[in-house]
Every structure is written in C-alpha cells, then in structure tokens.
A and B are shown apart, each in its own frame.
Chain A
Amino acid sequence: MTHQKTPMNRRSFLKSSTLAGGGLMISFTWLSAFKYDDKLNESDLPQWNELNGYIKITSDNLIKIINPNPEFGQNVMTSFPMIVAEELDVDWEKIVVEMGPHDSVKLGPQFTGGSNSVRMYWKPLRQAGATARRMLMQAAAQTWSVPVEEVTTEAGMLYHKKSGKSGTYGQFASTASGIPVPKEIKLKDPKEFKIVRNSKKNVEGAKIVSGQPLFGLDYKHEGMLIAMIEHPPAFGMKLKSFDASQSLKMPGIKNVFRLELYPEGFEQGGFDTRTFNDLLVVLGNTTWEVMQARKKLVVTWEPKGDTVDTMGSRNGKKAVNVPGRLESTSAQLSEMKQYADKPAQQLRKDGDPETAFKNAAQIIERTYNAPFLAHNCLEPMNFFAHVTEEKALLVGPLQAPGWTEPTLSKILNLPAEKIEIQMTRMGGGFGRRAYGHYLVEAALISRQAKAPVKLVYSREDDMTYGIYRPMYTATYRAALDADKNLLALHIRGGGIPENAIHPNRFPAGAIDNYLAEGWQIPSNITIGAFRAPRSNFNAAAEQSFLDELAEAMGKDPIELRLELLKRAKENPVGKNNEYDADRYAGVLKLVKEKSGWNSPTDKKYKRGVAAYFCHNSYVAHVADMVERDGQPYVERVFSAVDCGIVVNPDAATNMVQGAVIDGIGNALYGELTHKEGAAVQKNFSQYRIIRFHEAPKKIEVHFVQNDIDPTGLGEPPFPPVFGAVANALYKSTGKRFYDQPFITKLNELSKS
C-alpha cells in the first residue's frame, strides 16, 4: 500500500500507486471495490525509473521506497524505508512508501519472524540506498562532465558546488537507472545518521485511525465468495460424514463440500504444519450467512487414530508419527511428571555435575510448568485466493510468503511464477502467520469453487485450531556447598511435543559443573513459533530459579547474575556459549541504575528483576508491584534493552512496552487447556487477555547506546517479563510462583 507524505491530492496519489509493471499492492479491483471514483488514464501514469528493487524515482522527483517485509505491527513499513532513505539521502517527508509484492529475487527473503526483519535487511537496505545514491551521482557527473568525487547530495538534490550546478534526483533518475550497480560502496558512519535513530511516525498511521482497508480481512475482489471451514471439534478427530441439506437451504449459501488439505504422503516443509487434513467447506455470499449455515450442518466425526506426517528436511524425507489419542490437560500434566523423573537426552555437560551434587551441602530443586498458549491475533486467520488452471492470486496476512509459495506450487501444480502473493498489513502475527496452511486451504477452495474466495476463520476456529505455544516443564537443580557457593546446575526440560532447553545460554558458561537434558512427548496438538519460542518459557523458569538461588546464597539477585556473568567473561566454562557476557551485564547494570534498585525512592513497591538473551539482543526488566483491591498488580516497569542501533526509537519503545504488557498478560492469565482432545477455551470469554486496568501505569524503556548493527527487538523484551513478574509476586505474596498462569495460585491464595 502506498503512503503519500507529500502534499499531493488524491488523484496524484492514485497515479503514483498504480503504475504498470511495479508489482503493486493496490490493484484496480481493490480500488474499485472501495468505490474510488477516479478513472485512471494510462497516459497519466508516471514513468518510474527503477534504481533497484527498493527504489523508484520519477523525472519530477517523486521518490518511492518499497518495503519488502510483511508488516504485523513491528513497524517495518516505516523503519525499513528509513534505512533506505538514510543512505539514499532524501527528505523523509517527501517520499512515498509502498508494500512490495512477493519477489524474492528483487526483494530478498521477505520474512517477518524471529525478530529478523531489521537484522536481516540492515545491510541490504543500506546498500540499496547507498548504491542508488552513487548511481545518481555518477549520472549527474556524466551530464555535467565533472568528476563524480566532486558531486554531493542533500535531501534528494545533487550538487556540483564548484560550478554551481544542481539538480533533483528525478532529473538524473533515468540516466542513473542505466548505470551499472557499483560493486562496492561505502556506507555511512552511524554518527552521520540523520533519519535512522530519529523517531518517525508510522507511515500507515492515518489509514489506521480512519478505518481504511489495510488488513487481509478487509480485502475485496469482484465476485468474491466467503468460505469457512468446519474443522473437527478435537485434536485426533476427523470427518466421518456430513449432511448439508439444511445448510444448503440457507440464504446466500452456494455450496458445501469436502476437501483434502495435503494429499497422502505429501512432503511437508517445516512450516506446512498440518492440524486437520479434512476440510468441510461452507461457501456463501457473506460471512454472516456462512456462519449461520455452519450451525445447520449435521456432521459426524470419528477418531482418526495414529497418523504419519511426511516431513521434508535437508537430509531427505522423515516419517513423523502422530499419536491419535484424545488428550486432556490433567493427563498431560501427570505424564509430564513421569517423564520428568527419568534421565533424558543429554544436551550439554560441563565438569562433573554428578559428583558435585553428591558432595553438595544443600540441593535446591524446583519444577516450573507452563501451558499451551494460543496466539490470538486480533485479526483471525484469513486469506483471499483466486485460482484458475493457469495462475493463482493470493492476498492476505502472512509472515513468510517465501515458505508458503513452494507448497502452493506443489499443491496447485503451478510454477512459482504463476503464483502471485500479495501481503496485506496483519492484525497481529506473533509467529502464528508463519504457518501457511490457511493460504493452501483458500487456494484449494477457490480452485474447487472456480471463484475468487476469501477464507475466514471465526475466533473460535482460530483459537481451537492449534499451532500453539507448546506445553513446557523444566526442573532446575542447584548444588551449594556449606559456604553457599554454587557448585553445579542441572536443568532437565521437557514438553509436549518439544522441550524448551537452550543448552548453551546463560547461566551455561558461568558454572563449572553443568548438565542440561531434554525430553518430549509426541502429540497431535500442533504447535508453532510463539513470540520468542522456547525463550518465553526458559526465561520464566530460569530467571525465577536464579532469584530463589540468590536468596538461598544470601545475595542480591542482580549481583548474583553479575557475578556469574563476570565468571563467564573472564573464565568461561565450556564452548559454544551463545551470549556476550558484557552486553548481558550491561542491561542488568542499566536497569539497576534506572530503577534505583539499590536505593528505591518509593518503598511501596515489591520488586522483581529478570534478564534474558535471545535473538541476539539483551533485555532486563524490573517489575514493581503493589497491592490493589487485595490483588498484586504490576504498576510500574523499568526496561533496559540492548538491541544495537535503534532505527526508530519511539516505535521501538512502543514495541518494548507492548511486549511487557503481553508478557504480564500471558504470565498471569494465558492458558489453553484440553479436554478429550478439544480446546476448552474457544473465545475471549474463556481465554483471558490482559486488559486496560491490568496493564502497568508506566513502562520506562531505556536503550543501551552503542553502534552495534541492529539485533532483534520484537521478541527479546517478552521472555524476561515472566521472570520479573514471578519474582515480584514472591516479594508481594511471600510465595513462589512455579506454574503458569499465575492467576490460578493467586486465586487460591485470595480464597485462603
């Protein structure tokens, strides 16, 4: 979608957004669907000179920057163009920003996830800007017959100071587009940044506050039908038979039919997670009509028994057995307990932990548990598809077009160049929209229906579908000698259907005798990446345990961590330690200073601290709790973040604040349980999401100032919140909180 920041009228906006051959986000059908009355005239279209995949400039100096990555609230629609604009040397207020098409040749991996966007694109985008600038300088030098070294730029203008010549980028864009791309280019020194590191407003802000169509669910196409899928009521069930006669009599209903998602033996990629393979599709004119018709379906489901997924991998196909049993949370918990007592797969061992535990004067052992979590993106899963024999158009919200396209190509038997994927803004992602099953479903439905179709999940469909954050457990054991010195640490983690252990992360590397083990229980409940996968559990368990350990050792919790980090830096134990002990210590010191940890100004607060490293970034939080209406409440949070260079500080602050609130919410309330295979929580009436009054009044975010290339930000602030909340709860209630969600124990405490 295009953002016009110049004071141009809507007509010129449309002109700039509808050039031919640009692979545009906004199509003619899209525009007509929203009753734009401007009729476009081919001859009105501006001629764009493409300097590279990210930069297009017209002769009258309209400068457009293409954002390659899907936007789900992490602000790449703004931060990416900022990076390009910085090196290109243009006036930020005068550029146009547009969401790019899916085109990995021109635009790179286009993957939103793993806090990777800025990390992955930092250099390519700077190079795109810098090389285009150089090409424009060369074009001007040629035209003016002056050495290129004497040409300077400023805010979209080219100058030759000696001769007094000047011109706009636009004047030289056509010539520049014919100049070979320089192989080597010098990038700016971060000290010279004028746009990056200066807060810029969200380029889609005005559209968001005025309700303009931006999201997948808002997409319309002429003749479009609405499809919904009736999926089995429980994991481990499949469709046996159905009677749609009553549904078909309902107004607006076109068809009810059965489809198969993946054919038997289909080689699934890592993100082709298959939850339910039988699709019972209801097709109609409007969403409400389809919702009503679904209620009239008479469907019989049956247990599907054990099945096999064929997973593709670098080492060829692998058969993965999926058990057919119908799972319940109580049984899951007791099975996890059994597994937790057995030795498991060794993931890392330093020194001689067995002897250290034998010789220990004191052993502290604690077990932490966390439930499945649903992502609950506020915009439920949906996608538009129009598939014909020759080609496929897909439009909607997704994080990883490059991963879904090969699957679509195989399933639809169409070459990749015949598949066009357009990315809309996403109403949340959190990892959920990296799993492209809903594109495949929409495409298959469209092909079967021979019509353009928008597939819509209801909230209930979305919440009960799976692809959850896994259910985790971990037992932490520490051996102390008679002088309260830490001798050894043993972590045994497990989960359904994976464990969360990161064996080479802190405090590994800081403890002489260390053992990490992992186990898992297979399940038919599907799981997926959820904001800082695995870390979001580890940081809760490990950071709570360290807090308890510090207390047992008679140390301040920040000081204990700093001592361990000092050890890891000066005399690291073992190899492959993933973290940088200095940066880790840096955020702890910063949060200590900013929160006044040692000399709190307001004694009313019960304080909990936690820190964590993931996605190459470091974050520490201090959560300040008070008692409000008889319940502990996190009123204030201090956050210290080291993510290298911060591209857009105000938006980055917003994201950290959001991660803190998301963390408090999930730590206290997040829980998806099962009964006989069925998700118990089906909507927000049962699945508690943090609300206004439960959010802190203040979240103070401090970034470490350095010139390190940017590292992750969307995820890193999330995991340590869990630990900080648990540790503050201890100070507030005198009880340790081992099991998420913490509200369960809080409710028990308030009863007793």
Chain B
Amino acid sequence: MSIRERLSGNEATAVAMKQINPDVVAAFPITPSTEIPQYFSTFVANGEVDTEFVAVESEHSAMSATIGAEAAGARAMTATSANGLSLMWEMIYIASSLRLPIVMALVNRAVSGPLNIHNDHSDAMGVRDAGWIMLFSENNQEAYDNMLMAHRIAENKDVLLPVMICQDGFITSHSIENIQLETDEEVRKFVGQYKPEHYLLNADEPIAVGPLDVQAYLFEHKAQQAEAMRNAKKVIKKVAEDFEKWTGRKYEFFEKYKLDDAEIAIICMNSTAGTTKAVVDQLRQKGVKAGLLKLRMFRPFPTEEISEALAHLKAVAVLDKADSLNAAGGALFEDVTSAMYVNGKHVPMVNYIYGIGGRDTTEKQIESVYSDLAEIAKNGKVENPYRYLGLRRREN
C-alpha cells in the first residue's frame, strides 16, 4: 500500500535512502552539497538506519570514501550538487572505471562562476561522458522512484556501473509537493540485498582494485565499460517493468506526452517537462498538435528509440538547460540530432538554451517555442538552430 505524503525533492530522496538503508553514506554536509545528507544524517543520529555515515571534509573525499566503501564490498551512496560535483570530478571517473555500482543523488545546479547556486544542468553535463548511468526526474515522485530503482540497475552483473539520479535544484528539491511513498518493508524487498561478486574484504579471494592499467589493457577495459552501458538499457527496462508491477507507476527511457499524433514537439528533461505538459494541454484545446518527449534516461542515450519516436514530426525543439559554449549547440541537442542522422531520420530541429542559473522558465516561454515550431513546420526552414529562451537582450 502506498502512503500519501507531501515532501520536498530533497526529503523524498533522503527518505528513499533511509528505506534502502545502505551500508555507507559518505557526504559533505554543507553547501555546496544539499539538504539530502543533512536529512540523512538525522536518520542516522535517530537510529532509523544502521548506515555508517562518514562526514568527510570535501566532495573529493566524499566520492573517494564512497569508492573505498563500495570496493570493500559495501553498498555505498552519496549526494551532491554543482561545484560539489566539480570537486568530485577526478573520482567520478575512477568510480565508473572500477565498475563500482555506487548510487548518487545529484541535485542539478549551476556550476559557478560567477557565483550562482541556482538550477541548471551544467553540473550533470560536465560528467556526461564519465561512464555513469544518468536518470533525470521531473518531480519529487520521480526522484524517489528513480532512487528506488537505482541499485538494481547498478548492481546487475551485466552492468556494474554507478548511477546518478538527477533532479532540479530548488525547483523540485526545495518545493513541497504530493508524493506516494512505499513502505520500508516493500522497498527493502524490491531493492534486495547487495551481494558483490568480487570485493576487497573477501579474505578468500585477495584482489587488487585500480592498479596500473598500461597500453596493453586500458582500451579493452574502456570497451567493456561501453558494453556495460549498452547492457544497461535492457536492465533499466526490466527494473522499470518490475517497478510498475509493484507500484503501478510506469517508467520508460522517455515519456511520450501526447507525442504519437503530434506535429510539433519539445524535448527536455527534469521539471521543465511538467510545465511543458501544462502548455501542451492548453495548445491541444486550441487544436494545435503539440507534444512532448521527456527524456528520463540520458546515459545510456536511447538513440534508436528517440529517432523512432520523433520521425513523424514536422518540427522539434530540443531544450538544453546548460550551454556547451561550443558555438554549435547544447549537449542534448547534439545527442538528439546525431541520433536522428545516424538512424536516417530527418526532421527540422532547433535548439534553445534556457533556464541558466535559475532563470525561471514560464508557460509563456514554452508557448513561444511551440509558435516558433509551428512556423518551422509550415515553411520547413530553420534559420538559426542555436537559440536562447528567456534571455534578456539589450534593446536597440
């Protein structure tokens, strides 16, 4: 039986971690991290979990301690945000290349500078090639649900990759909203016990973790990581199917919202997808065939599935909440356009950089994107594919 509650996204994530009851949580308890370790440390202090909580002195150490614990054979978790993730960067790659199924909550915030603590996706985009599975969450419910699915994905022996569960800083992390929670008992049954195959504290099988990997080996090891990432797709699908059987809540690689009969569509991730749904509903009432593709699974990237889902459209806008500053377009735009090209689908596409540094994204702005798309659909021309949404400009 689900429990009706109201929680912020940070609280929802901390509750999921409490229910999972991992062996170790290593986290940096103040800014630039999030309220998640703060809430979780309360659960530890109150004896509601039997997790070993390591209050480390920096984010680099948070990831290092998490890696050490996971390599030792423990189920280890952490949480971070923005510049905290930047400081972890070196160890982020170590975690995935050592094939450690760590689970981390990432509350998406701008990587400074100039100093900004508000929401965008620049932190996540900085680690998009680091070999972590990355799932994005529209609201507190999805942040909670994705967290409950994370360990079964990460720890699957065909995967063995770390998982990052993303949600929008402040917009969902600090907003109180309704949520359906599952019981502790049911969560523990679903998540299951962690039984590592190879681990440092196994006296019967002495191993080394992370030794020198010279020219003769590193390439093959990277190819194995890539294979694990491909394998992850079927595991993510299977875990979501089991999750749906349990809770009734359905998760796919992406959510198609009124997309199948749409002529124009937006692609985006996290909370903006919710605002876009409201705009799609309003436009549908006016007879505009608008749709949305909300991407949940950013890594691995579902290239074939996305290109199939978009092939019938007359125009598509990809919304990037981080600029790649490459004079070409945002990361999501490049992934989507390349997926289309490789799979031989051609649909006019345009990119909007939006919501940088916590700039609020309004229904009016989203509606203006659909107006632009209607124009592109009519004449088939994309004059400038690399645009801004909600940017203040100097009046001439």
Whether A associates with B in a native complex is no
